[in-house]
Amino acid sequence: MSKQQRESRVHERYLRHSKKFPNVWCAGCGIGIVLGAIIRAVDRLQLDKNDVALLSGIGCTGRMPVYVDFNTMHTTHGRALAFATGLKMVRPEMKVITVMGDGDALAIGGNHFIHAARRNIGLTAIVVNNLTYGMTGGQYSPTTPIGAQAATAPYGHIEQPFPIAELAVIAGAAFVARSTVYHVQELEKYIAQAITKQGFAVVEAVSYCHTTLGRINRWGTAPDMMRRLKEQSVSLRQAEKMSEEEKREQVVRGVFVDRDIPEYTQLYDQIIERAQGEAS
Amino acid sequence: MTASQTAGPTARLMQGDQACAEGAIAAGCRFFAGYPITPATEIAEVLARRLPQVGGKFIQMEDEIASIAAVIGASVGGAKAMTATSGPGFSLMQENIGYAAMAEIPCVIVDVQRLGPSTGRPTSPSQGDVMQARWGTHGDHPIIALSPSSVRETFDLTVQAFNFAERYRTPVILLMDEVIGHMREPIVFPDPETVEQVKRPGTTVPPEWYKPFENFPSDVSPLVPFGEGYRYHITGLHHDERGYPTNRLDEIRPWLERIFRKIDRSISDILLYDKDGIEDAETLVIAYGATARSARYAVDVAREHGRKVGFLKLKTIWPFPDEVVEHAAARLHRVVVPEMNLGQLALEVERIVDRHKVRRVNRADGEMIQPAEILTAIEEWAR
C-alpha cells in the first residue's frame, strides 16, 4: 500500500459509518476539508479517540462532530466554548476541541470566545471562517467584508469585519494560527500544534460559501473561490513587506502567537491544593 | 459512640443561600459555574471556597448563558453540576435548560427569585418565576421544580434536586426566593453519611452496543460520561437512540413519549409535600416557598378561632401534584392560594378545582404576604 493510499484510509478509521452519511454540506464546501485536517492531525498525534471530544455550536460547521468517532457534542448556537469549558474542567486530561463558524464563534458566541482566550483554558478552538451565515442563506456575519452584498445587506455591507486571529491574540490565547482550506497541509499542521498546546489555541481556517455569499456577489464557483484563497493569500513573512492597503486584499497565513502562559485547569489544580491545605 | 454523638449536633446560624451551597456539597456536587447576581451571589461565594476543599471545581463564567452551558458540559464529563442565579439570569439560561431537557443531561439550576419583571427590585422577594420554571424554554418537555420554605428545607431540597436530576436524567430547578435565600435560621446539618446520594446509573453493555438515548425499560437510559470509552453523540436536534439527528416520526414520537413517561411513572417519588389537618377541613390553604411561612401562621391562628383549616405545603411544584390537590380539595368548598405573584400556581389549582372555590391572595410588589392577608381570606370565606 502506498503512502497516499494509507493516508486516504485514515478517514475511514475516524468517521462514523453507522448512520450519518451523506453529509449535509454542499458539494464543493470547505468544511469537509477542515474535518479532514482535524482527523489527520489527531491521527498524526496518535491520540486515543476516547480522549478526544469534539464540540460545536450551530450552523454548517456545527454539523461537523456527528460524522466523526470521538466524544461529540452539538451544542447551542455560540456556546460550544462554554460547554467545552465545563467538560475540560472536569476532564482536564481530555483533548477538547471546538469547531465553530464565524457567526457562531464571533457574533452570538463572541463573548465566550474572548473570555475563553483571556482565561487561557486548554481548549482548541477551530473557527471555519466562510464570511457568512451559510445555513440560513448568506446573511452578513462578523467577518463579511465591507462592501459585499449579503442576504441582509442588499445595498452593500457597511460594518468592519473582525480579524479573528488578531482578536484571539489580543484576548490572550496561547496559540493562534490562520490558514485556508486551500492550504490543507499547513492547516493540518497548525491544528496539530493547537491540539498539543497547553492553553487556549485558536486556528482560523478561512473558507468560502459558494452557494450563498459567493452566489449573491457573483464570486464564481467553488473552484473559483478556492483559487482565490490560493492567489490572494500570503505568509506572515510576505505580509511584513506589504503596505496596510496591500495586506487588506490578502489572507495573511501563519502562526500569530505561540506563547507559554499558565493554563487554567492547571492553575485550578493549585487552587485545590491551596484550599485543601488550608482546610486540613 | 463518637464524640459528636455525645456532644449532640451543634446548630449553625445560616442563610438559605449558604444552606443551598452546603446541600450541594453534601449531595456530591463537584462543579459549579455561575455569574454574580443578587440575591443568589452567596451560593457562588460559598462554593468558590468550599468546592476546591472537597476536590471540586468552581468557575465564574462571563454570563449566565455560559454558566449553564459549562454546567451541562461538566455533567457530560461525569460531575454532579449546578448553577445559581436570579430572575434575569434565569431568563438568559432558558435556551440551554431546554438543551439539557432535550439531551437528558442531569443538572441543577437554582433560581433565587427576586421581584421582576426585568431588573425589578433585586433585593426583594417574589415568586414570579413559577411559570418560567415550567415553560421558560421553548418546546414541550417535562421539568422538575422544587421550592423550599426554610433554611433546613433548602439544604434538603438541594440534595433532593441532585438526586432527581441523576435518577431521571433531567434538569431540576430549585426555585428559592429572596426571603429564603437571605433569611438566617439555626440549622443542624444531617450526618453526611445519612444524606442520600443517588449515583448516576452506569451501563453494563460494551461500547459498541451502547445507546445513550435507548428506549430503556426504566425509560431512563444510563448516561456514560465522556472520556470513559463510550464514544457517542449528543445534540439538541431531535435524535435517535444513538443520539444521531433524525427527522423520522417513528423516532421522534417514542422519544417525546418516553421523556414524559420517565417523570410520570415516578410521580410518587417526585412529589414532595406536607399536609396537615386536611381530613376534617372546610378550607384548604395551598402554599409554597416563603409564603408557606405566612400561610402556616395564618392557618394556626384561624384554627385558634375555631376554623377548620387544612394546610397543604408544596415542596415539589413541577410537576404539579394534580391528584394530591384534587384529593385534598375534593370535599372542600374553598381553597386559598397565596403567592408572591399575580396568580401563577393558582392557575394550576384552578385547573384541578372549580375556580369559583379558589381564592387567590397575591402580592407582586416585593413585599411578603402577611399572615393577616391570608387570615382575612380564610375568614371571609368562612363567614
Between A49, A72, A268, which is nearest B233 by CB?
A: A72
Residues B184 and B305 in one domain: no
Question: How close, in Å, is residue B363 to chain A by CA atoms?
Answer: 37
Question: How close, in Å, is residue B318 to chain A by CA atoms?
Answer: 25
Chains A, B: CB pairs < 8 Å: 142
* A94 in B contact zone (CB under 8 Å): yes
Residues of chain B contacting A55 with CB distance shorter than 8 Å = 73
What is residue A6's predicted lDDT score, i.e. its pLDDT? Answer: 66
Between A66, A90, A272, which is nearest B235 by CB?
A: A66
User: Tens digits of per-residue pLDDT, A129-164?
Assistant: 999 999 999 999 999 999 999 999 999 999 999 999
Distance between CA B119 and CA B116 in Å, rounded? Answer: 6
Residues B160 and B61 in one domain: yes
Identify the three-state secondary structure at position B21.
Answer: helix
A191 domain residue, yes or no: yes
Q: With CB atoms and an 8 Å threshold, state whether B233 touches A65.
A: yes
User: Tens digits of per-residue pLDDT, A238-271?
Assistant: 999 999 999 989 999 999 999 999 999 999 999 9
Which residues have CB under 8 Å from B254's CB, separation 6+?
B215
Q: What is the CATH number of the domain that holds B125?
A: 3.40.50.970
- B284 neighbors B324 (Cβ within 8 angstroms): no
Mutation pick from B32, B59, B62, B251 vs chain A, by most beta carbons of A within 10 Å, is: B62
Q: What is the CATH number of the domain that holds A200?
A: 3.40.50.970
Last residue of a domain, one of B171, B194, B217: B194
Question: How close, in Å, is residue B211 to chain A by CA atoms?
Answer: 12
Residues B281 and B179 in one domain: no
Q: With CB atoms and an 8 Å threshold, state whether A74 touches B69.
A: no
Domain that holds residue A232: 28-279
User: Which single residue is written with the C-alpha cell 423516532?
Assistant: B251
Last residue of a domain, one of B194, B219, B243: B194
Positive or negative CA dihedral for B297, B299, B303, B306?
A: positive
Nearest residue to A201 via CA among A209, A212, A190, A210: A190
What is residue A20's predicted lDDT score, i.e. its pLDDT? Answer: 72
B33 domain residue, yes or no: yes
Q: With CB atoms and an 8 Å threshold, state whether A85 touches B49.
A: no
Between B63, B78, B228, which is nearest A90 by CB?
A: B78
A215 domain residue, yes or no: yes
What count of residues does chain B have? 383
In terms of CA atoms, which chain B residue is nearest residue A121? B59
Tell me how far CA of residue B315 lies from CA of B87, B158, B190, B284, B320, in angstroms: 20, 11, 19, 16, 10
Domains: count for chain B = 2
Q: With CB atoms and an 8 Å threshold, state whether A49 touches B75.
A: no
Determine the average pLDDT of the residues in A196-224.
97
Residues B185 and B63 in one domain: yes
Tell me how far CA of residue B48 lies from CA of A174, B37, B224, in angstroms: 26, 15, 27
Other beta carbons within 10 angstroms of residue B30's beta carbon come to 21
Q: What is the CATH number of the domain that holds B364?
A: 3.40.50.920
Domains: count for chain A = 1
Domain that holds residue B321: 274-382
Other beta carbons within 10 angstroms of residue B315's beta carbon come to 20
* A87 in B contact zone (CB under 8 Å): yes
A244 domain residue, yes or no: yes
What is residue B280's predicted lDDT score, i.e. its pLDDT? Answer: 87
A22 domain residue, yes or no: no
- Strand B144-146, strand B171-177: pairing: parallel
B102 domain residue, yes or no: yes
What is residue B122's predicted lDDT score, i.e. its pLDDT? Answer: 95
In terms of CA atoms, which chain B residue is nearest residue A113? B62
A20 domain residue, yes or no: no
Last residue of a domain, one of B143, B171, B194: B194
What is residue B368's predicted lDDT score, i.e. its pLDDT? Answer: 97
B300 domain residue, yes or no: yes
> Could you write out the DSSP letters of every residue in A202-253?
EEEEE---TTTHHHHTT---HHHHHHHHHHTEEEHHHHHTS-HHHHHTSEEE
Q: With CB atoms and an 8 Å threshold, state whether A112 touches B62.
A: yes
Average pLDDT for chain A: 96
Distance between CA B146 and CA B161 in Å, rounded? Answer: 7
A205 domain residue, yes or no: yes
Question: How close, in Å, is residue A247 to chain B by CA atoms?
Answer: 34
B258 domain residue, yes or no: no
Residues B78 and B167 in one domain: yes
B313 domain residue, yes or no: yes
A18 domain residue, yes or no: no
Q: What is the pLDDT along chain B (383 residues), one digit of tens a residue?
A: 344 444 557 899 999 999 999 999 999 999 999 999 999 999 999 999 999 999 999 999 999 999 999 999 999 999 999 999 999 999 999 999 999 999 999 999 999 999 999 999 999 999 999 999 999 999 999 999 999 999 999 999 999 999 999 999 999 999 999 999 999 999 999 998 899 999 998 999 999 999 999 998 999 999 999 999 999 999 999 999 999 999 999 999 999 999 999 999 999 999 999 999 998 899 999 999 999 999 999 999 999 999 999 999 999 999 999 999 999 888 888 999 999 999 999 999 999 999 999 999 999 999 999 999 999 999 986 65
A 103-162 residues with CB < 8 A to B: 111-112, 115
Between A66, A82, A93, which is nearest B65 by CB?
A: A82
